[in-house]
């Protein structure tokens, strides 16, 4: 039989470390989610409009489209919209065909020329006037305006702050309910998002009433509100009271 001797100093150190490890309290924590939302009135809009023409002659189709674009640019300038806030560079030319059953082949019938125009409207009360003047000069494609806030970045941060405060309040409520105290935050993750492109509310307006109220009233445009939201996931330490 072989006997092994362990030095007393080493054995004592091992017992001390084991005791210290055993006495270390387990980590207690609570994980919560918080939500924040801030609403704001839009103060500007991006308008996407366009003109498209089909003609058997390509040159004629291009001339008709360019004429409408030039007329709209003049209207935009008359409204005080700066050149840098209007982009009319987009152009598309597509040949169009019809199927001839008799010949079992496609026949060219003309060329479709299209141009897109993007307008940044900084004065929201001009939104209706921009659309009305566009259709007046021959623009035949109008998409729903995308409403925006010039303070979007600040509003998103406010929503994120609200989400963090909501997460802290939820964690404190859970801790107190379970007889614990809320400690420091160990981990936090946040994300925010702006509103989807909203559709302006449309109201029926009588012509006699709308004629003196401007383009927005004439079209029945009511911008409504923009909603910015944020969410937070946080991990807090739980302490003994």
pLDDT digits (tens, 9 = 90+) for 61-77: 999 999 999 999 999 99
Specify the pLDDT at position 44: 94
Specify the pLDDT at position 214: 64
CA distance to 30, 175, 179, per residue, from 239 (Å): 11, 9, 9
Question: What is the rounded average pLDDT of the residues 169-186?
Answer: 94
Range of weakest confidence among 32-46, 54-68, 134-148, 190-204: 190-204
Residue bearing the bigger pLDDT, 211 or 177? 177
Q: Give the whole-number percent of the chain exceeding pLDDT 70.
A: 81
pLDDT surpasses 80 at 3 = no
Confidence of residue 224 (pLDDT cuts 50, 70, 90): confident
CA distance to 28, 29, 238, per residue, from 182 (Å): 10, 9, 5
Specify the pLDDT at position 16: 44
Range of weakest confidence among 83-97, 98-112, 154-168, 204-218: 204-218
Q: CB neighbours of 236 closer than 8 A, spacing ≥ 6? A: 29, 30, 31, 32, 168, 171, 175, 182, 183, 184, 185, 186
Specify the pLDDT at position 170: 96
Specify the pLDDT at position 193: 82
Specify the pLDDT at position 24: 55
Average pLDDT, the chain: 84
Tell me the per-residue pLDDT of 6-57, one tens digit each, with 9 for 90 and over. Answer: 444 443 444 444 544 555 566 789 999 999 999 999 999 999 999 999 999 9
Residue bearing the bigger pLDDT, 141 or 217? 141
Helices (H), 49-126: 58-78
With CA atoms as reference, report the closest residue to 142 among 119, 109, 113, 164. 119
Alpha-carbon dihedral sign for residues 131, 132, 137, 138: positive
Specify the pLDDT at position 149: 94
Range of weakest confidence among 26-30, 36-40, 154-158, 196-200: 196-200
Specify the pLDDT at position 223: 79
pLDDT surpasses 50 at 190 = yes
């Amino acid at each position: 039989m072989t006997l092994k001797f362990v030095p007393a100093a080493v054995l004592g150190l091992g017992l001390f470390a084991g005791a210290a490890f055993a006495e270390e309290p387990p980590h207690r924590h609570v994980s919560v989610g918080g939500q924040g939302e801030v609403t704001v009135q839009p103060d500007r809009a991006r308008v996407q409009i366009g003109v498209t023409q089909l003609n058997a002659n390509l040159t004629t189709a291009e001339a008709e489209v360019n004429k409408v674009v030039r007329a709209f640019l003049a209207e935009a300038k008359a409204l005080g919209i700066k050149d840098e806030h209007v982009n009319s560079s987009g152009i598309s030319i597509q040949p169009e065909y019809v199927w001839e059953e008799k010949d079992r082949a496609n026949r060219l019938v003309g060329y479709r020329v299209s141009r897109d125009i993007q307008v940044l409207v900084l004065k929201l009360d001009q939104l209706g006037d921009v659309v009305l003047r566009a259709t007046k000069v021959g623009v035949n494609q109008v998409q729903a305006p995308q409403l925006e806030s010039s303070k979007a970045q600040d509003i998103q941060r406010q929503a994120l702050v609200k989400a963090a405060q909501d997460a802290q309040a939820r964690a404190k409520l859970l801790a107190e309910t379970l007889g614990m105290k809320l400690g420091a935050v160990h981990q936090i993750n946040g994300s925010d998002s702006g509103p989807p492109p909203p559709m302006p509310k449309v109201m029926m307006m009588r012509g006699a009433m709308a004629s003196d109220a401007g383009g927005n009233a004439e079209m029945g445009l009511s911008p409504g509100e923009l909603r910015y939201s944020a969410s937070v996931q946080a991990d807090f330490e739980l302490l003994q009271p």
